Amino acid sequence: MMSELIILNSNGDDRTVWSKDDAEAYREAKEQFDKLKAKGWFAYKVTVKWGKEEIKEFDPNADKIVMSPPVVGG
């Protein structure tokens, strides 16, 4: 099973695909997730049954994780 980390940005989005069987791709996706969460980004696990659910930690079993930057207001 392949999973996908989608990072929303000014280019539209960047995507990283990982599998629990591919240690390097898994490590890269988790590092990206952790780095962005440390900067205050939001993360949502997307499922067909439940829609989206905010998550605080990387979920290696998620089909899709979408990350969005914090909203800056004035």
What per-residue confidence (pLDDT) applies to 74? 61
Q: Is residue 19 part of a domain?
A: yes
Distance CA 68, CA 40 (A): 9
Q: Is residue 51 part of a domain?
A: yes
Looking at residues 57-72, what average pLDDT do you find? 92
Distance CA 21, CA 60 (A): 11
Q: Is residue 74 part of a domain?
A: no
Helix (H/G/I), strand (E/B), else coil: 36: helix
pLDDT digit string (tens) for 5-62? 999 998 899 999 999 899 999 999 999 999 999 999 999 999 877 788 999 999 999 9
What per-residue confidence (pLDDT) applies to 43? 97
**Radius of gyration (C-alpha) of the chain in whole angstroms:** 12
What per-residue confidence (pLDDT) applies to 72? 77
Domain count, the chain: 1
Domain interval for residue 15: 3-68
**What pTM was estimated for this model as a whole?**
0.87
Please say if the pLDDT value at position 1 is more than 90.
Answer: no
Q: Is residue 15 part of a domain?
A: yes
Q: Is residue 47 part of a domain?
A: yes
